């Protein structure tokens, strides 16, 4: 049997004669073949490591007749006593939110998932039929994940799935109708999902609108606010009962959240959702909705910390060429002009995939990521008073809209 040594940098390299191994429970220990001794701490750094997560795609853990554990790589027809997950083993840290950056702005979503087996996992992706959402869905599906396309246009979502199946016929994808401009549609989607699925491993809140003219949804709220924030807020709360321990909730926000004008002292329903065009500016409406995304993710992480659910927000990339700019010709022109200098859709989906699947982010929650790396969000997004005010106001607006809808249906 051949040994398999993980990739490592010079700081983590073992001295001659040492070997790294993992126990059944995921603890890492080190063997000194010269002295026939073992120890739990790294011989150079003195730090402990732990192995977690599923085996890479194509690998199987087996037990020999004499009780020894070994690993079979069916893809390359190799066998080893060394746990292949050692390549991704993480050190116990005094500061658990400090990560060694493995990826950057040039990384693609499929590169992050290289070797991963997501079989048995289920993901919901809002707006999965196009742009960054499509590449996110495609990447997860390629690695065995069951992907639910939560989309308003069922026909376009079905065509997107057909496109993926042309590349990989055996992927598991399903369309479920979700119109984020309708809280009734959100409730119906959640009910239907829970009827067909008993668990959810990843909830990726990706869908959004940008630069649209002033309009109100059927619930009477400004479209940017409801589609980008309020409906995602409602959807998440409705799905709480099926979120498994270790579920990842990923909120796609934007660096535009830094230019919002929301504050705890001035947060009202009218500020969040202008009722008339006179109080509306599309860019500020978008910026405010993206701040709501980050604030929601941070507050949800705090409230659900004991549930074992990880919630993180992210910025996918600057002016990525997608359908987001479709609502106004000037934005389309600007996005087309900068396209050669921005990320591809596969690169733009990478931070979403990183937050949804990276082993080192297990049990990590309440953070903001850009280019697959943690960064500090705006000061406003970290204001606990703003977080509480947004949470309470969002709940009030949902209950008010649901109440109006119920009254209307009873009158009919």
Catalytic-residue membership of 286 = yes
DSSP at 13 = P
Handedness of CA 248, 252, 125, 371 (dihedral sign): negative
30, 221, 234, 286: the active-site residue: 286
Q: Give the CA angle between residues 230, 331, 203 to the nearest 5°.
A: 30
| Cα(22)–Cα(18) distance, integer angstroms | 14
Query: Angle at which helices 154-167 and 131-142 pack, to 10 degrees?
Result: 40
- CB of 343 within 8 A of CB of 130? no
21 by DSSP, 3-state: which?
A: strand
| Cα(373)–Cα(295) distance, integer angstroms | 19
Handedness of CA 171, 172, 173, 174 (dihedral sign): positive
DSSP bridge pairs for 341:
none
| Cα(250)–Cα(310) distance, integer angstroms | 8
Q: Are strands 37-39 and 28-32 parallel, antiparallel or unpaired?
A: antiparallel
For 88-242, strand residue ranges (E) read 90-91, 122-126, 146-151, 173-177, 200-205
- CB of 185 within 8 A of CB of 177? yes
Tokens of 137: 């869905």
Tokens of 34: 């010269």
Handedness of CA 147, 313, 359, 350 (dihedral sign): positive
DSSP bridge pairs for 70:
62
State the CB neighbour count (10 A cutoff) for residue 107. 19
- Positions marked active-site: 286
């Amino acid at each position: 049997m051949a040994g398999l040594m993980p990739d490592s940098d010079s700081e983590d390299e073992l001295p001659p004669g040492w070997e790294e191994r993992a126990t059944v429970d995921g603890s890492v220990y080190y063997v000194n073949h010269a002295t026939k001794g073992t120890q739990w701490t790294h011989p150079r750094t003195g730090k402990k490591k732990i192995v977690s997560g599923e085996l890479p795609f194509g690998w199987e853990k087996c037990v020999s007749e004499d009780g020894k554990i070994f690993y079979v790589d069916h893809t390359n027809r190799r066998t080893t006593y060394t746990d292949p997950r050692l390549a991704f083993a993480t050190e116990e840290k005094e500061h658990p939110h400090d990560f060694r950056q493995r990826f950057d702005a040039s990384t693609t979503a499929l590169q992050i998932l290289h070797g991963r087996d997501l079989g048995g996992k289920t993901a919901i992706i809002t707006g999965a039929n196009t742009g960054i959402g499509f590449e996110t869905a495609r990447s997860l599906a390629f690695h065995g994940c069951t992907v639910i396309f939560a989309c308003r246009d069922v026909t376009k979502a079905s065509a997107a799935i057909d496109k993926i199946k042309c590349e990989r016929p055996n992927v598991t994808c399903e369309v479920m109708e979700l119109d984020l401009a309708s809280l009734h549609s959100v409730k119906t989607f959640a009910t239907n999902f829970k009827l067909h699925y008993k668990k959810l491993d990843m909830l990726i809140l990706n869908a959004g609108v940008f630069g649209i003219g002033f309009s109100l949804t059927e619930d009477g709220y400004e479209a940017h606010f409801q589609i980008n924030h309020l409906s995602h807020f409602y959807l998440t709360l409705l799905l709480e009962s099926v979120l498994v321990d270790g579920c990842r909730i990923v909120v796609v926000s934007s660096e535009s959240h830094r230019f919002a004008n929301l504050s705890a002292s001035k947060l009202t329903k009218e500020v969040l959702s202008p009722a008339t065009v006179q109080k509306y500016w599309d860019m500020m409406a978008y910026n405010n909705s993206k701040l709501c995304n980050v604030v929601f993710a941070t507050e949800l992480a705090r409230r659900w910390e004991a549930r074992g659910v990880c919630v993180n927000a992210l910025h996918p990339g600057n002016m990525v060429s997608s359908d987001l700019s479709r609502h106004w010709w000037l934005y389309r022109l600007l996005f087309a002009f900068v396209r050669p200098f921005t990320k591809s859709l596969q690169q733009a989906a990478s931070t979403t995939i990183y937050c949804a699947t990276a082993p080192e982010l297990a049990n990590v929650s309440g953070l903001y990521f850009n280019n697959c790396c943690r960064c500090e969000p705006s000061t406003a997004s970290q204001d606990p008073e703003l977080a509480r005010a947004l949470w309470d106001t969002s709940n009030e607006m949902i209950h008010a809209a649901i109440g109006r809808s119920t009254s209307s249906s009873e009158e009919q």
